[in-house]
Copies of this chain bind each other. A is one copy, B any other.
Amino acid sequence: MKKAGVAILGLGVVGGGTYQILTEKREYFKKTQGVDLTVECVLEKNVERAISLGVEKEKIATSIEEVVSNPNVDIVVEVIGGTGVAKTFVTMALKSGKTVVTSNKELFAKHWPELEEEAKKMNVGLFFEASCVGGVPIIRTLQEGMQANKILSIKGIINGTTNYILTKMANEGSSYEEALKEAQRLGYAEFNPTADVEGFDATYKLSILSSLAFNKKICIENVYREGITGVNKEDIAYGKEMGYTLKLLGIGKDTEKGVEVRVHPTFVKNDNPLASVNDSFNAVHLVGDSVGEIMLYGRGAGALPTGSAIVSDVIFAAKYDEYFYACFENNEKGNKETKFASDFTSKYYIRLSVADKAGVLSKVSGVFAKGSLSISEVKQVSLDEDKAQIIIITHLCNESLIKKALEKLKTLEEVYEVKGVIRMED
């Protein structure tokens, strides 16, 4: 039977879940996987926390040196997070010839190439399933399940906090502020929610996932980012009436015009399987040139779901003696030959506040026609005596043309305000 000794760096939520799975299921893994996994040591300043989880005192290391010099440790699990000590520790572990398993999306999004270089040099494994979409095996699927495909697009609900907030706004008509408060109360959002609601977290994950999907290093600087703080409940309600659900999507497309990678609020058609992914659930929808559509759905966060992904990597690393690395050209600033689309192609939802009088709709649609923008749907709602709302849904068009049209619209006397501009996916 294969054996592997594991060290866990950090016993926070995910580290605790990982420790629990590894210790409680040791016999189960021996029986079902043919591998014997032991936790050899943990690195955690909060000794009380470690002891309360059941870690024996002599297994609590006091320094990273102690961990990486331990000959019984084969695999180092890093669940500290961030790019400070985590980066130092991971690098030291790799340099010491330890295989690393990490859940650290920020570290991976920012420093993947240099970490991979170290891993290659020492011929050790570098696994990061837990960095994206928690317990959902999306990395393994991209690496070992869809290799026969060129991936044409990836669209994901890859942040649970924002999906919880948007679901609440849609189902209960809450405002953004109300829904955020509730998410914070339930522990789905942090006290400082910026990383989630401004789309940074999703950007890290999309950078990793689209790099794997397109076999090109996509840096976070290449990802267009727009969070959900500007979303309002009126647009969600109008969209609902017209058959669309608002989601914060991470979108990657590999088209002839170049690669498009972007994170922003997006209306998806109700018959798209992503539309019914609710609350804090995550999902990733892929289109491969052979397999067609595929979607994976599950929990994107939490002690045990993320622990499940980490332990899955640990078992994989313990079973196979060979390690493979991303085959794309791997430099810190991405592959210079990668062409990025400078002008996104999308459908658009546009809501205008206008004067409620004859001829306005004709004037507005005239602007679209002159801008070579084709409209697929228009809806006019009278709000009170002198104001109305016009909602326009366009066919596929270039973002640059939309921007021009919006500038023009703003100059019309009858258009009071451009209330909402939201990209759409079928």
Contacts and interface: CB of A to CB of B under 8 A. Distances in A.
Interface residues of A, number: 59
Interface stretch (A110-118, A193-201, A229-237, A314-322): A314-322
Most interface-central of A134, A273, A276, A320 (chain B CB within 10 A): A273
Interface in A281-333: 281, 288-299, 302, 304-305, 307-312, 315-316, 319-322, 324, 327-328
Nearest to A297: B295
Given A290-B308, A292-B135, A296-B296, A324 B315 contact: no
B322 A149 contact: no
A117 to B, nearest CB: 17
Interface in A206-230: 215
A137 B148 contact: no
Nearest to A35: B147
Contact of A28 (B32, B150, B295, B296): B150
Given A31-B327, A33-B327, A146-B308, 9 more contacts: A31-B215, A33-B147, A147-B316, A273-B277, A291-B308, A292-B305, A293-B297, A295-B296, A295-B298
Nearest to A272: B276
A144 B316 contact: yes
A136 B294 contact: yes
Given A141-B140, A290-B307, A297-B273, A29 B316 contact: no
A145 interface: yes
A135 B288 CA distance: 10
Contact of A25 (B148, B291, B322): B148
Contacts of A308: 146, 148-149, 288, 290-291
A406 interface: no
Main secondary structure of the interface of A (DSSP, over half): mixed
Contacts of A273: 273, 276-277, 297
Interface in A53-67: none
A34 interface: yes
A21 interface: yes
A291 B304 CA distance: 6
A50 B144 CA distance: 29
A53 to B, nearest CB: 16
Contacts of A288: 135, 308
Contacts of A147: 29, 32-33, 311-312, 315-316
A328 to B, nearest CB: 8
A21 B320 contact: no
B297 A292 contact: no
Nearest to A135: B291
A149 B294 CA distance: 23
